Amino acid sequence: MKRLLFLALTGSLALLFVITMWQDTNREWTRYQRQFVRSLSKDERRGAQTGIRQLIVPGLERVDRCTTCHMAIDKPQLALAEEPFTAHPGQFLAWHPPEKFGCTVCHGGQGLATETAAAHGDVKHWEEPLLRGDLVQASCRQCHGDLSKVSAHVPLLSEGKGLFQAKGCYGCHAVKDVGQTVSVDLTEVGSKSYLLLEADFEMMEPPHDRIHWLMAKLDNPRHLNPGVRPEQLPPGEEEVFPSAMPNFNLSDSELKALTVYLLSLKAGDLPASFVTHEPEAAVLTYASPVEWGKAVYEKVGCTACHGIGGSGGRHNWNAALGTEVPPLTYVRAYYGSNVEALKALIRDGRQPAPRGLPNRPRPPLYMPAWKDRISEQELDALVAYLFSLSGEPVQPAAPPAPAEPAGSEPPAPTPS
């Protein structure tokens, strides 16, 4: 009996050993390598390197095994038509030697993995999914602070950066020292953990990753944050308003461009030797105070809440001044005889916004303080612009000032 049991256990171990050996020689990456080697000529096969291949990048503290499957990435003469056997496009490998940069610093994904889903970051809890196609432009900003020097290679990133300002996003969101604190700080949104990002995947279909969450949020903010009404809550609990972020009705190309820009906002943890910094801001001049004030209005993001040209229209739940953010076309009528009151409102803001109904939550949008964000000269120009929205002529906001070095406040404009 004992001998039979011994023989059975021995046979089981032998079978497990055979199964293990078969699995080890039939892994996904080994199948890819065999497929690639079969496509080579006899002479090329002799020089083909198989097995786990990895790039150790000490400067970035990364180990990437991507070339285990992407065997022709740096060999255009051996490249095939289908992935993972294509060659890297353009001259990017010449500009970014793999031994210095690796792969994942630009493309994302999980460098140590050897299975496709894991290597591409398409697994639960991995926060750096593969940046496919044009999305890889988001990585360029980590090193290239001066986008003007690489603009031909990052059209979506450049467009997204412009859209972020044009849509007034700075009015609610801060990026470094620019923008406001009405909503989430986006300085590191491209690398911030999902917990700190407050990314809730409950209201969206898979894949549940940073890329698709940002796209869903930009496409329809209230779909991800629909709010909770009193009738849906147990007694005593307060309702939650839907997202106050407006739906900008972005086109597909705009949606992709803004996503690329947001993904590019990452923690600056690369060594200084890899990074080129943004150039100092050029000194701008304007033909009139109104033109300068319009530039200030757009630069700091007033558009997001008050609309293009101060037309208003953004919904603000339970606000005492109405269900929408007030338009600015009547500012002159309200403050024409008391300009200092208007300036004080802009400087100090109105926080929180007064409630319409006292038993309902506070409005999500409020007037933030701008005293630490814009200069007094910019404030004068902004007031001149706001007064101009009524269609009446305005007086110069401030006398001309001498030009200052690049990076300082722009000189006061002269009337045209």
- DSSP secondary structure string for all residues of 212-234: HHHHHHHH-HHHH---B-GGGS-
Angle at 35 between CA 33 and CA 36, to 5 degrees: 65
Distances (CA, A) of 307 to 165, 168, 203, 297: 13, 8, 28, 10
pLDDT at 409: 45
Res. 33: pLDDT tops 90: yes
Interval 390-407 mean pLDDT: 52
Q: Which residue has the higher pLDDT, 5 or 135?
A: 135
Domains of the chain: 26-119 (no CATH), 134-274 (1.10.760), 289-388 (1.10.760.10)
Task: Return the pLDDT at 413.
Answer: 44
Closest by Cα among 305, 292, 277, 289 to 366? 305
Highest mean pLDDT among 60-74, 231-245, 323-337: 60-74
How much is the mean pLDDT over the chain?
Answer: 88
Which pLDDT does position 215 carry in this prediction? 96
Which of 83-92, 250-259, 312-321, 375-384 comes out lowest in average pLDDT? 312-321
- What pLDDT is stored for residue 231 in this prediction? 66
Q: Is pLDDT of 341 > 90?
A: yes
Q: What percent of the chain lies above the pLDDT cut of 90?
A: 58
| 72 within 8 A of 86, measured Cβ to Cβ | yes
pLDDT score for 394: 56
Average pLDDT over residues 68-91: 93
Tokens coding 285: 């001049």
Give residue 395's pLDDT: 55
Query: Taking residues 93-122, what's their average pLDDT?
Result: 95
Q: In Å, what is the CA distance from 27 to each residue of 50, 52, 110, 114? A: 13, 11, 17, 9
Q: Which residues contact 27 (CB under 8 A, 6 or more apart)?
A: 114, 115
Q: How many CB atoms lie within 10 A of CB 365?
A: 25
3-state secondary structure of 148: helix
Task: Compute the average pLDDT of residues 295-319.
Answer: 91
Q: How confident is the model at residue 236 (pLDDT cuts 50, 70, 90)?
A: low
Question: What pLDDT does 382 receive?
Answer: 96
> What pLDDT score does 250 carry?
96
Buried b (16+ CB within 10 A) or exposed e, 211-240: bbbbbbbbbbbbebbeeeeeeeeeeeeeeb
Instruction: Tell me the pTM.
Output: 0.85
